[in-house]
Amino acid sequence: MRKLPYFQVLCGLLLVSSLVFFWQCIAHLARRDYVAAGMLTVIGIATLWVGSELARLSLSERDP
């Protein structure tokens, strides 16, 4: 039975979702909503951090 790469898929989803947060941040900056843009920036950075940690975990799990 083939093992599914759950960590790789989850890492990819988290990295793409962080880009969505940054896109929303730019949209809020265009509307001059600076508080919401700052909050979205913090959420985007946190999502990138979690995605990078999962990428590190998936790489260490792959190597025997």
DSSP codes of every residue in the chain: -PPP-HHHHHHHHHHHHHHHHHHHHHHHHHTT-HHHHHHHHHHHHHHHHHHHHHHHHHHHHH--
Q: What is the pLDDT of residues 25-40, one digit of tens each?
A: 899 999 999 999 999 8
**How far apart are the C-alpha atoms of 51 and 10, rounded to whole Å?**
8
Please state whether 2 falls in left (phi above 0), alpha (psi between -120 and 50) or beta: beta
Q: How confident is the model at residue 1 (pLDDT cuts 50, 70, 90)?
A: low
| pTM listed for this prediction | 0.74
